[in-house]
Structure 1
Amino acid sequence: MDLGSARTRAWTAGHGAVLDVPTVTHPDRNTGPGPALAPGPGDAPGAGPARRGGRPVHRGAVVDEAGCAHVLRGLLAHRLPRTARPLVVLTTPALASPAHRAAARSAVEVLRPRNVLTVPAARAVAVAARADLSRPLLVVDIGAHLTEVVLLDDGAVADARRVGLGTGDLGVAAPEDIVDAVTRMMTATIRQDGASLMPGALARGVLLAGGGALRPEITYRLAARLHAPLDVVPAPHTAAVRGAARLLEAARLHPSTRGHDAPGTRSG
């Protein structure tokens, strides 16, 4: 399951396909007036305020647990047997706080899960791409309202950067603003890494996912700016949930399903 600011996506073993709905509690009121959310950490200047009304996830963070539960109930409740106690693998931003993960798990309780495992979205993207996780890997995930640059080492998050900017901000922001933000985050990661993991990761190429990977005005500019190959994941907008589906299949037989994090992840 991928609970995003703009779209909520899920995969179920019985359905065998990606289910996809807007992350909106009241679609008919989505464009109406409502209280604006103050910019949060990492929000890009000029991206414009987000409205709380009808939008239970704001730039990757759950701001309305009941609203998220409403979305999940509408998406999945009728697809699950009444007696089912599903195992759920939920993707979260790499820098998600413990409070965010707890809020997301609380929202999923509407499905009466047997357990809820959280996994960084970047790892799920890498799994969907069938990338070799034994070597350092750089993942760029450009979503609707959040962009992340994540360095994976042995499949776990070694470094991560985020900015509250994405394709949903285009019109207020320009494609070049997203490219600039990604470039700045990559530069900061290189400096922070101290030339330990980044040379190997850059030699492999940057793995690009999210809806932004479908926008030529972003991908062409990004390819021109990066000093590394750019590898777009197939169906990049659904990569996180497809990776979560593969992790779900592995988790069913894994002892760590008694905990709250999927196999191979690090909490924090």
Structure 2
Amino acid sequence: MTRPADEGAAHEPAAVGVDLGSANTRVWASGRGTLHAANPAPAAAYRSGPVVRGSIAEPEPMQVLLSGLVGGRRRPLPAGAVVVACRPVGTGSRAELALREVMTTVFKPARLLFIDTVRAAAIGSGAAPGPLLIADVGAHLTEVAVLAGGVIVAAHRRDVGLHDQAGGPDPNAAIVAAVTDLIGQVRRQPGHRQAVAAAVHGGLLLVGGGATRPQLAARVAGAAGIAVRRPVAPHLAAVRGAGLAALAALRRSAVGL
């Protein structure tokens, strides 16, 4: 007897990557591609909305948004998925607990893992092996990090983003200053100086919503005095990377069975 296609889909193993931004929520799911939705808050109202400065401020609205995003599709996600969720560098225990509770409530995962957003974005960008300098510019948060061997060896963040100067005379000025200053902080951070120097020499990988602004990349390059490159669809790099990490974890789980 042949099982209906929907019945088989309901029991298939699934890998899920999640990137909860202050302005947009993005989910990548195996066999379903990328789903995304704008968060229910005015663009410049960074003191309201379910996600504030990279942390969940209102769990229930976020749960509703995520449940509607992944549940109303032709192929709903089954419970028991391997879920990898992005978190900004420097995320504290309270913020991580809130993220864990939302992910657990919505996805009911068999396994839940966290990944730093900059590391996920490096994976999702298909960055070449070796030391890497990366900047993630979002709606309300800017992060700069150096990765060596896929591990973050230096990182700093600034609570400023694209929406902080929306509509101002120079909407890019604060971001350019933040990225340039954060690169300087990373270069001065003790330890791993050889990896940091090699990463800076190789130029900056710019991801996040800010990387969709061509003028911002050029401004950062001029201010920081380094080459700046952007991946394809840079605003989706983190969720792609989280999804790839979830797939890898799912495959490791299957091998171990």
Kindly state the Cα deviation for residue 70 of structure 1 after the two structures are TM-superposed.
1.3
Does 1:190 find its partner at 2:206?
no
Residue segments in structure 2 that go unaligned for 5+ positions in a row? 1-17
Cα deviation per residue 1:55-110 (whole Å; 9 max; x = unaligned)? Answer: 11101011122222111111112345575321111111122112212211110122
Partner of 2:72, secondary structure, is: helix
Aligned partner of 1:115 among 111, 121, 133: 111
- The aligned runs of 1:164-243 (5 Å cut-off) are 164-169=159-164, 170-172=166-168, 174-193=171-190, 195-243=193-241
- The aligned runs of 1:26-175 (5 Å cut-off) are 30-31=41-42, 50-52=46-48, 55-79=49-73, 81=76, 84-109=79-104, 110-133=106-129, 135-169=130-164, 170-172=166-168, 174-175=171-172
CA distance in 1, matches of 2:102, 2:145: 26
Kindly state the Cα deviation for residue 186 of structure 1 after the two structures are TM-superposed.
0.7
Normalising by structure 1, report the TM-score: 0.80
CA distance in 2, matches of 1:209, 1:64: 26
Coordinate RMSD, CA, aligned: 2.3
Normalising by structure 2, report the TM-score: 0.83
Q: Does structure 1 conserve the Cα–Cα contact (< 8 Å) formed by 2:46 and 2:140?
A: no
CA distance in 1, matches of 2:97, 2:218: 38
Q: Does structure 1 conserve the Cα–Cα contact (< 8 Å) formed by 2:121 and 2:207?
A: yes
Cα deviation per residue 1:101-160 (whole Å; 9 max; x = unaligned)? Answer: 221111012222112111011111111122234x22111001111110011122122121
Cα deviation per residue 1:23-71 (whole Å; 9 max; x = unaligned)? Answer: 22xxxxx45xxxxxxxxxxxxxxxx86333xx11101011122222111
1:189 partner amino acid: V
CA distance in 1, matches of 2:47, 2:185: 31
Kindly state the Cα deviation for residue 221 of structure 1 after the two structures are TM-superposed.
0.8
2:121 partner amino acid: V
1:132–1:82: structure 2 CA closer, same or farther, 3 Å change rule?
A: closer
1:220–1:252: structure 2 CA closer, same or farther, 3 Å change rule?
A: same
CA distance in 1, matches of 2:144, 2:77: 40
Aligned partner of 1:5 among 22, 25, 39: 22
Q: Does structure 2 conserve the Cα–Cα contact (< 8 Å) formed by 1:3 and 1:23?
A: no
Aligned length: 233
Partner of 1:240, secondary structure, is: helix
Q: Does structure 2 conserve the Cα–Cα contact (< 8 Å) formed by 1:9 and 1:241?
A: yes
1:176 partner amino acid: A
2:227 partner amino acid: P
Partner of 1:157, secondary structure, is: strand
Q: Percent identity?
A: 35
CA distance in 1, matches of 2:231, 2:122: 9
